[in-house]
A = this chain, B = another copy of it.
Amino acid sequence: MAGTDRGELGPRKQAVLRAVVEEYVRTGEPVGSETVSERGNLGVSSATIRNEMAALEELGYLSHPHTSAGRAPTDLGYRRYVDMLPPGRLREPQRKTIQEFFHETAADMEEVLLGATRLLSSLTQYASLAAPRPPAEDRIARAELIELGPSLLILLVGEHGRIYKALADRPEDATGAAANAASTRIASLTGLSLTEAAEHARALETQAPPDQRDILGLVAQAVDDVRLRSEEEHVLVGGVGNLATEVVTWRLDTVRRLLEAIERESEMLTLLRRASAADDLSVTIGGEHPSTGEWDAAVVAAPYRSGETPAGSIGIVGPTRMDYLTAMTTVRAVARRLSDLATALDPPQ
């Protein structure tokens, strides 16, 4: 008699939990047994539902603001709900919007990614985030040293067209000739990953003739800076306005903390990267992670791949009271299209 669920929940309890979550998400008001028995299409009376709801509360899936109120899902309840959710189908208009977006899209992945966050946020009405490929894995396709007036520009081009740059003051003794020679030397960074390049640049510095040592030291420093900096930065964001809507029942203070975290980027990166570990979708709900707990937020993220190798991730942030089905379906669809694109764009091996 174990039923078809995973875990220990009977099928009717599942149905009740599902009804409560969906109704609560729709209205934002605690849900009563009457409502569930009416809308839930279970053939039982409200009294029976009451018993089930009491049991679900006991199990930690529902909570009670006060005696005479209905029930709302807990974070654990949402989790349970999400885990038992069958994969949804995208609605036609949304499918179309996504298709159109990817149809007219350009060749620059980073640009596409930014557009994709806006697409996602307008489709879901939540804020959207994306993390491009981790720069540490990027290979250098071109390395140059450019003289700009009193400065030197160290310019690295990743194999997918991403640019890494650093400006530095030109050392006193960096004559045109030395700069030229150094420029030739750093061409040897081509083909290396950023991490390898940082090492190699240090090696170049120590092996260089004295008149180029200063300048190559600068380069080494710059490559290292670039590597560190771009490791932390670069979360693309869209639709943050959606964090401040009536639908969201957040306190002003919560919105503030969330906006600040988005600006800091690193926390968001952590949450997005969880998706890369996951096969498909990763859903983080409220207290399941310190960050989301602090914001009463949920993050739905998915990785996208180039061929088989993970290339980045994209997702949304919204309140724990979120339309998970739509969110998951939409994020999944967009991530899938991004994978297609990334695969097509990648140099054939």
> Are B151 and A161 within 8 A (Cβ)?
yes
In the complex, A159 has a CB within 8 A of chain B: yes
Listed stretches A1-9, A62-70, A252-260, A324-332; interface member:
A252-260
Q: How far is the CB of A158 from the nearest CB of chain B, in Å?
A: 9
Nearest B residue to A260, CB-CB = B241
Known: A141-B146, A148-B141, A246-B252. A107 touches B169 (CB 8 A): yes
Q: How far is the CB of A187 from the nearest CB of chain B, in Å?
A: 13
Interface residue total, chain A, C-beta cutoff 8 A: 44
Q: How far is the CB of A139 from the nearest CB of chain B, in Å?
A: 11
> Are A347 and B150 within 8 A (Cβ)?
yes
In the complex, A178 has a CB within 8 A of chain B: no
How far, in angstroms, from A257 to B242 measured CA to CA in the complex? 9
In the complex, A240 has a CB within 8 A of chain B: yes
The A contact surface, by secondary structure, is mixed
In the complex, A208 has a CB within 8 A of chain B: no
> Are B146 and A157 within 8 A (Cβ)?
yes
Q: Which residues on the B side are within 8 Å of A41 (C-beta)?
A: none
> Are B159 and A149 within 8 A (Cβ)?
yes
> Are B153 and A155 within 8 A (Cβ)?
no
Q: Which among B153, B160, B161 is the interface contact of A161 at CB below 8 angstroms? A: B153
Number of copies of this chain in the oligomer? Answer: 2
> Are B148 and A347 within 8 A (Cβ)?
yes
In the complex, A166 has a CB within 8 A of chain B: yes
Nearest B residue to A166, CB-CB = B108
A:249-273 near B, CB below 8 Å: 252-253, 255-257, 259-260, 263
A:302-349 near B, CB below 8 Å: 345-348
In the complex, A82 has a CB within 8 A of chain B: no
In the complex, A77 has a CB within 8 A of chain B: no
How far, in angstroms, from A73 to B148 measured CA to CA in the complex? 51
How far, in angstroms, from A150 to B347 measured CA to CA in the complex? 6
A:129-187 near B, CB below 8 Å: 141-142, 146, 148-151, 153, 155, 157, 159-161, 163, 165-169
Q: How far is the CB of A307 from the nearest CB of chain B, in Å?
A: 13
How far, in angstroms, from A55 to B142 measured CA to CA in the complex? 70
Q: How far is the CB of A230 from the nearest CB of chain B, in Å?
A: 12
How far, in angstroms, from A40 to B85 measured CA to CA in the complex? 65
Nearest B residue to A118, CB-CB = B263
Q: Which among B106, B107, B149, B256 is the interface contact of A245 at CB below 8 angstroms? A: B256
Q: How far is the CB of A261 from the nearest CB of chain B, in Å?
A: 8
> Are B244 and A263 within 8 A (Cβ)?
no
> Are A240 and B252 within 8 A (Cβ)?
no
In the complex, A238 has a CB within 8 A of chain B: yes
Q: Which among B107, B111, B142, B167 is the interface contact of A151 at CB below 8 angstroms? A: B107
> Are A244 and B240 within 8 A (Cβ)?
no
> Are B263 and A255 within 8 A (Cβ)?
no
Interface residues of A (CB under 8 A from B): 106-108, 111, 141-142, 146, 148-151, 153, 155, 157, 159-161, 163, 165-169, 238-246, 252-253, 255-257, 259-260, 263, 345-348
* List of 5 A-B pairs having minimum Cβ-Cβ separation, nearest first: A149-B347, A241-B260, A241-B259, A108-B167, A244-B256
* 6 A-B residue pairings within 8 Å (CB atoms): A146-B157, A150-B347, A155-B157, A240-B240, A241-B263, A244-B256
